Amino acid sequence: MKTYPFGQQTLGQIIEDKAGICGDKVFLQYEDGEQVTYRECNELADRIANGLNRLGLAAGDTLATFLPNSLEAVFLWFGAAKAGVVDVPINLANKGYFLSHIINDSRARVLVIDRQLIDRLKFIENDLPHLEKVVLWSKSPVRENIPELKFEVVRYRELIDSPADKLQVNVKASDPLMIIYTSGTTGPAKGVLQPNSMIYYSALEYVEAVRGNQDDIFFTCLPLFHANARILCLYPAMLLETKAVIYEKFSASRFWEQIREAEATIFNSLGAVANFIHSQPRKANDGDNPARVCAAFPMPPQIYDDFEKRYNLKVVEGYGLTEVAIITYNPYDKPKVGSCGRATRNFEVRIVDENDYPVPPGTVGEIVARGKIPWVTALGYHNMPEKTIELTKNHYYHTGDGGYLDDEGYLFFVDRIKDYIRRRGENISSSEIERVVNTHPGVAESAAVSVKSELSEDEVKIAVVLKEGVNITPEELLAFCEERMPYFAIPRYVEFLEMLPKTPNEKVRKNKLREAGISAGTWDREKAGYQVRK
Q: Give the phi and the psi of residue 235 in degrees, each rounded to 5.
A: -65, -45
From CA 477, how far away is CA 494, in angstroms rounded?
9
Q: Which residues, other chains included, contact 479 with Cβ-Cβ below 8 Å and sequence gap of 6+?
A: none
DSSP structure string for 286-353: TT-SS--EEEEES--HHHHHHHHHHHT-EEEEEEEETTTEEEEE--SSS--TTS-BEE-TTEEEEEE-
Each residue's pLDDT tens digit, 5-45: 999 999 999 999 999 999 999 999 999 999 999 999 999 99
From CA 333, how far away is CA 331, in angstroms rounded?
6
DSSP-assigned beta bridge partners for residue 352: 358, 366
Neighbouring C-alpha atoms within 13 Å toward the C-beta of 503? 6
pLDDT attached to residue 504: 46
CA pseudo-torsion sign 485, 491, 496, 497: negative
Answer yes or no: are the C-beta atoms of 19 and 41 closer than 8 Å.
Answer: yes
DSSP structure string for 44-78: HHHHHHHHHHHTT--TT-EEEEE--S-HHHHHHHH
- The distance in angstroms from the start CA to the end CA of the chain is 41
DSSP-assigned beta bridge partners for residue 270: 297
From CA 497, how far away is CA 449, in angstroms rounded?
14
Q: Which residues, other chains included, contact 345 with Cβ-Cβ below 8 Å and sequence gap of 6+?
A: 205, 372
Answer yes or no: are the C-beta atoms of 457 and 423 closer than 8 Å.
Answer: yes
From CA 523, how far away is CA 473, in angstroms rounded?
10
Answer yes or no: are the C-beta atoms of 444 and 466 closer than 8 Å.
Answer: yes
From CA 259, how far away is CA 255, in angstroms rounded?
6
From CA 458, how far away is CA 452, in angstroms rounded?
5
pLDDT attached to residue 510: 83
pLDDT attached to residue 429: 73
User: What are the chain's domains?
Assistant: 9-171 (3.40.50.980), 195-416 (3.40.50.12780), 422-528 (3.30.300.30)
What residues in the chain have per-residue pLDDT under 50? 184-185, 504-505
| Residue 321 to residues 38, 44, 182, 377, Cα–Cα distance (Å) | 29, 31, 10, 10
**Side chain identity at 230, as an amino acid letter?**
R
pLDDT attached to residue 503: 56
pLDDT attached to residue 183: 64
| CB burial of residue 247 (10 Å; 0-12, 13-18, 19+) | buried
pTM for this predicted structure:
0.83
Helices (H), 368-459: 385-391, 430-437
